[in-house]
Amino acid sequence: MRGSKSRSGFDGEEGGSYKGDKTVTNKIKIGHVHMSGCTGCLVSLADNNLGLIKILDDYADLVYSLTLADVRHIPEMDVALVEGSVCIQDHESVEEIKETRKKSKIVVALGSCSSYGNITRFCRGGQHNQPQHESFLPIGDLIDVDVYIPGCPPSPELIRNVAVMAYLLLEGNEDQKALAGKYLKPLMDLAKRGTTGCFCDLMDDVINQGLCMGCGTCAASCPVRAITIEFGKPQGERDLCIKCGSCYGACPRSFFNFEVIDEFEGINEIIAEALKLGENDD
């Protein structure tokens, strides 16, 4: 029974005031814009499997994706998920990212290359067949970015959460909008904070600030195991660091919004409910 009801929004048992009271009618328009990235971000998006299908069935139309949709020019979008950094010697890429900003309500930097440059920071050019392509900038150095989803690759679940929350922000009822706004805020703050990511962020803004309590989260989040914990505190092997910015974002002492995280049980239910396949969906 709940399966058929789930189409009408987010009616988790404990959904309370977040409960949707209208049938989902307006799907939002989502696009995947591919700059200089390895497609790992797109694979992560796709790794939501049935969750992605549910999102595309009920909440969003994929209006642009070089890999997945046959559209050549950047269309109007509600949410642009931009993967990869921008090669400033590649005229087309520069134009495309500007176009993306113009045509999108919300620009999301999907993954660490887009957010922070990440591994593309280490590029020195000189490669066949575009040896002059040597300078890569995170998109925030060229356009205003609304939301960061750091990670190399970004976790499928974070992409999913942002997609559901972006939908609620644009199409939900008042309570859902408020929840989505609160959820997205720290990821928006990360976008305002800057375009470089590094183990140094933990040194500068957590450890040097007297905030580190040795939980070890940073070490778990590092994709290249550059962080070890010595006597309860993180040590970064700075030569290994690929500048992905994940450790800082993951650290509970970078941001911690009680008004959202205290609601973990309810929010997890809302997301699970939103992505539950209904009787007609399989």
Q: Which residues bind to another protein, rule: CB under 8 A? A: 44, 150-158, 161, 183, 186-187, 205-206, 209-217, 219-223, 229, 231-234, 244, 246, 249-250, 252-258, 260-262, 264-265, 267-268
DSSP 74-137: ---EEEEEEESBEETT-HHHHHHHHHHHHHEEEEEEESHHHHH-GGGGG-----TT-TT---EE
**Minimum CB distance to another protein, residue 156 (Å):** 7
Residue type, 29: K
CA 25, CA 196: separation in Å to the nearest integer? 39
Alpha-carbon separation of residue 163 from 45, 81, 191 (angstroms): 10, 10, 17
CA 67, CA 215: separation in Å to the nearest integer? 39
CA 85, CA 108: separation in Å to the nearest integer? 12
Residue with Cβ nearer another protein (88 or 255): 255
Q: Which does 202 bind (CB under 5 to 8 A by kind): ligand SF4, another protein, none?
A: ligand SF4
CA 202, CA 234: separation in Å to the nearest integer? 9
Q: Counting contacts by CB under 6 A, is residue 154 touching ligand SF4?
A: no
14, 214, 262, 279: which one binds ligand SF4 (CB under 6 A): 214
Instruction: Tell me the two tokens of residue 274.
Output: 């939103």
Which parts of 50-109 interact with ligand SF4 (CB under 6 A)?
none
Of 87-95, 153-161, 186-194, 196-204, the segment contacting ligand SF4 by CB under 6 A is 196-204
Instruction: Tell me the two tokens of residue 280.
Output: 């007609």
Residue with Cβ nearer ligand SF4 (64 or 199): 199
**Minimum CB distance to another protein, residue 7 (Å):** 23
96, 191, 236, 273: which one binds ligand SF4 (CB under 6 A): 236
Q: Counting contacts by CB under 6 A, is residue 149 touching ligand SF4?
A: no
Q: Which does 194 bind (CB under 5 to 8 A by kind): ligand SF4, another protein, none?
A: none
Q: Counting contacts by CB under 6 A, is residue 119 touching ligand SF4?
A: no
Q: What φ, ψ does residue 33 adopt, rounded to 5°?
A: -105, 120
Residue with Cβ nearer another protein (102 or 225): 225
Contacts of 172 (CB under 8 A, 6+ apart): 9, 10, 20, 179, 180
Sign of CA dihedral 222, 228, 233, 235: negative
Residue type, 71: V
Residue with Cβ nearer another protein (15 or 97): 15
Q: Counting contacts by CB under 6 A, is residue 227 touching ligand SF4?
A: yes
Q: Counting contacts by CB under 6 A, is residue 226 touching ligand SF4?
A: yes
Of 16-24, 51-59, 174-182, 194-202, the segment contacting ligand SF4 by CB under 6 A is 194-202
How many Cβ atoms from other residues are within 10 Å of residue 249's Cβ?
A: 25
Q: Which of 57, 28, 62, 29 is nearest to 45 (CA)?
A: 62
**Minimum CB distance to ligand SF4, residue 229 (Å):** 7
CA 129, CA 24: separation in Å to the nearest integer? 48
Q: Counting contacts by CB under 6 A, is residue 114 touching ligand SF4?
A: no
Q: Write out the residues near ligand SF4 by the rule CB under 6 A.
A: 197-199, 202, 206, 212-218, 221-222, 224, 226-227, 234, 236, 241-247, 251-253
